[in-house]
Structure 1
Amino acid sequence: MAHLDCRGIIAVPIDFAFEYGADLRNAAEWVFGVSRVDLASDTPIGVGAVYTGNLTLGPITTRSTVRVTEWVPNSHVCVTSVSAVPSRSTWRFRSLGEHKTEVTVDIDYSLPGGFAGKVLGRTIEPFVQLAVQRSDTALRNTIERRYRQSQSASHPDK
């Protein structure tokens, strides 16, 4: 199983970061290669929520389904793939003060076994790491922009 991780700081309170980042209906706005996310369960957020989405990597677009398997508000959310490439992704949120949140993502994924799978894994790992880093940057930028907008809307005289 391959493992990737990325860590970044977002200049917003933890509750705002978690509310946006842990709601995977927002993933198409920040996950590299994801063009669409649809809710596929009666549970919109939290453990048991299921999402389907289109993921494009290079010339290939696949439909993926993930299920939320762990959900602790303002702490972490974990999703497990139930189709396509077996994977488990965990986003951890940690308050670093009133307006600063650390977000860490850990991704574990498996490719087909044998020699071909190992070669494929070594070939795509740099691209997957780049996609994770771009997604992290997009998540931080999107959450910070949305937070500024929410503050402007709630305090129009500033």
Structure 2
Amino acid sequence: MGPFGVTRGRWRLLHSATEEQHARGMRAAEERTMAKFSGSIVIDAPVEVVFEYVYNHENTTKFMEALKTWEPIGELKGLGTRFKLEVAAGPTTFGCEAEVTELVWDKVIAWESRSGIENSGAWLCEPLGPDSTRIYFEQSFTLPGGFAGELLAKSFRPLIEQQTERSLNALKAQVEALVAENGAGTAGADGAGDGR
């Protein structure tokens, strides 16, 4: 007799079936589709103003078109801060919890999901002069594998690419309006703690 009173022959059969299911699951995980999106734009503002505006979580939903929620979970502490996000994709809303995994002031903010839909992203700032900054946005999502994942990626790609472009244009307009209203030395944090 094998474990749990199952005959040895039956146990080997069950065990090999379980191994095959596990192997299929591992292959499916390896075959998942990674959808990556990126874009950049030049903003007529100092790098510190652009960075602080993007860093301030209260501004994020103002310029990120599909982002419905970006709320801190617990204390704002910079690196390691966790956020609750909700992203609209057509009639569906996807949610996750993300953590700030890299933070170099005036240069980069990066995050990775810790629960929910698997994704990661980053904002990177490059100063082009005292009053000019190029900002890069990168984001990737892990979708189901196989034909369904490929179909999902193909159907969402044009939508997300358009949303990314509109979001970057909105960010540019908002930061440049802030600078025009308050001067180039204005930080975009609106009094939020920066966690530095």
TM-score range, shorter chain: 0.7 to 0.9
Q: 1:69 to 1:46 in 2, by over 3 A?
A: same
Q: Does 1:102 align with 2:124?
A: no
Residue of structure 2 in register with 1:31 after alignment: 64
1:12 counterpart SS class: coil
Inter-CA distance 143–20: structure 2 relative to 1 (3 Å threshold): same
Q: Rg: which structure is higher?
A: 2
> Residue 128 of structure 1 aligns with which residue?
160
Indicate the residue corresponding to 2:124 in structure 1.
Answer: 92
> Partner residue of 2:73?
40
Gaps (5+ residues) in structure 1? none
Letter in 2 for 1:35: K
Deviation string for 1:39-73 (max 9, x for gaps)? 1121x252111111332222112333221100001
2:83 matched residue in structure 1:
51
CA RMSD of aligned residues (A): 1.8
Provide the rounded CA distance (Å) in 2 between the counterparts of 1:19 and 1:105: 15
Match of 1:150 among 175, 178, 182: 182
Q: Secondary structure at the match of 2:183?
A: helix
In the TM superposition, what is the alpha-carbon distance from 1:86 to its structure 2 partner?
1.0
Task: Please list the CA deviations of residues 106-157 of structure 1 after superposition, one character each: whole Å capped at 9, or x if unmatched.
Answer: 11211011221111111111111111111111111111112222229x8xxx
Q: What is the DSSP-based 3-state SS (H/G/I as helix, E as strand, rest coil) of the residue aligned with 2:74?
A: coil
Equivalent residue for 1:118, pick from 150, 160, 168: 150
Check 1:107–1:53 CA distance in 2 against 1; reply closer, same or farther (3 A cut).
Answer: closer
**How many aligned positions are there?**
152
Change (3 A) 1:88 1:53: closer
Rounded Cα–Cα distance in structure 1 between residues aligned with 2:62 and 2:95: 17
User: Deviation of residue 76 (structure 1)?
Assistant: 0.7
Taking structure 1 as reference, are residues 121 and 37 closer, same or farther at Cα in structure 2, changes over 3 Å only?
A: same
1:80: which partner in 2?
Answer: 112
**Percent of residue pairs bearing the same amino acid type:** 24
Unmatched tracts of structure 2, length 5 or more: 1-33, 187-196
4+ aligned runs moved over 4 Å, structure 1 = none
Kindly indicate which of the two structures has a greater share of residues assigned to helix.
2
Verify the 8 A CA contact 1:33 1:56 in the aligned structure 2. yes
Give me the TM-score of the superposition, normalised by structure 1: 0.88
Aligned ranges for residues 65-76 of structure 1 at < 5 Å?
65-76=97-108
TM-score, length basis structure 2 = 0.72
Identify the range of structure 1 (118-127 vs 47-56) with the bigger mean alpha-carbon deviation.
Answer: 47-56
SS in 1 for 2:163: helix
Q: Structure 2 CA distance, aligned partners of 1:76 and 1:134?
A: 21
Provide the secondary structure at the position in 2 that maps to 1:141: helix
